[in-house]
Copies of this chain bind each other. A is one copy, B any other.
Amino acid sequence: MTPPHPEAGARADVDAPAGGAVRPGARFTFLGPEGTFTEAALRQIPGVAESEVTASVSVISALAAVRSGAADYAMVPIENSVEGGVSATVDDVASGDDLQILAEVLVPISFVLVGRQGVRLEDVRRVTTHTHAWAQVRGWADAQLPQAEFTPAPSTAAGARLLLPQTTDDGPAIPAFDAAVCAPLVAEQTGLPVLAERIEDTAGAVTRFVLVGRPGPLPAPTGTDKTTLTVPLPNDHPGALLEILEQFSTRGINLSRIESRPTGTGLGQYFFSLDLEGHLAEERVQAALAALHRIFPGVRFLGSYPRAVEREVQVPGHMSDEAYRRGREWVRGLLRR
């Protein structure tokens, strides 16, 4: 099994005494099917093992389940997922009913080759997996399985399940494939023999996932937090991005992610999705958000939550809450004299 990635999973204590804790008895869903990296991310959340968990067929349906109340929380990919869904997440949380991100989770992207019962690595001829996964092990496969023929599967987990013993009306049948590329979790869940591990061509890749719920109290600030926003642009106005960024830079706020995305309602209509380093409980973040709201009233707040990888946010002295308080007091003094 892949040992935990040194930087992965460092932070997922959403049931900590924070204001935004996961509710006991909560129901979870995730971008399925079973065995995906998304499920691996969800398993990092404390308390999930004892909770009701269902797989969703898409990011959109996972988030719809949370909005409708069919689930309380959904785990979905937000960056760099090998299984897709990233754009769907970014786009879907930007419209419809408000949602809130409660935690982010990192999962190392590592693949294993599982085989059907009795097959040895040197005997593998027919391999299946999702095309994205195949693309990421292509170098290894060319070197180690030059003779193998590839057939795409709907997902890595579905491909692996095709290796399990089949029974037809005519009795047991031999699986159509010898091996499948999948996440370590799938090997664990199916019990299929692992023929090779860590077969990914690029080592160290990590995918980010977020746990999404309905709007509610925020997780308490930890000093190493993120805040996610979407900012729809009223029209394709040239300086908009710069105007947005200046609201952050003039308040000493760093951005860790930014994407322009088409809104889907027409060509040339865009919104920005971004993560900033800081928590809404901080004055400088409040000031930046209030300023954004003045300029772009459609700005959407998607939550403040702890970073998966702790990295203390460096707040310049003149941007501290204390500095904000003093600046305000000074102005009030001028108005009172």
Contacts and interface: CB of A to CB of B under 8 A. Distances in A.
A153 interface: yes
Interface in A192-230: 202, 204-206, 215-218
Interface string A286-330: 110111111101000100000001010000001100011011101
Interface stretch (A46-54, A112-120, A238-246): A238-246
A44 interface: no
Interface string A130-157: 1110111010000000000010111100
A173 interface: no
Contacts of A57: 131, 134-135, 150, 152
A241 B272 CA distance: 14
Nearest to A334: B301
Given A134-B57, A280-B335, A324-B294, A262 B80 contact: yes
Interface stretch (A22-30, A66-74, A81-89, A178-186): A81-89
A100 to B, nearest CB: 9
Contacts of A235: none
Interface residues of A, number: 89
B327 A291 contact: yes
A294 B249 contact: no
Given A294-B323, A327-B293, A266 B154 contact: no
Given A204-B266, A259-B258, A294-B323, A286 B331 contact: yes
A281 interface: yes
Interface of A: 7, 33, 57-61, 79-81, 84, 86-88, 106, 130-132, 134-136, 138, 150, 152-155, 158, 202, 204-206, 215-218, 236, 238-239, 241-243, 245-247, 249-250, 254-262, 264-268, 270, 280-281, 286-287, 289-295, 297, 301, 309, 311, 318-319, 323-324, 326-328, 330-331, 334-335, 337
30 contacts: A7-B267, A57-B131, A58-B131, A58-B134, A59-B135, A60-B138, A61-B135, A80-B261, A87-B87, A130-B154, A152-B155, A154-B154, A202-B265, A204-B266, A205-B264, A242-B245, A242-B249, A246-B250, A255-B260, A257-B260, A258-B258, A258-B260, A259-B260, A281-B335, A286-B331, A287-B287, A289-B330, A289-B331, A290-B330, A294-B319
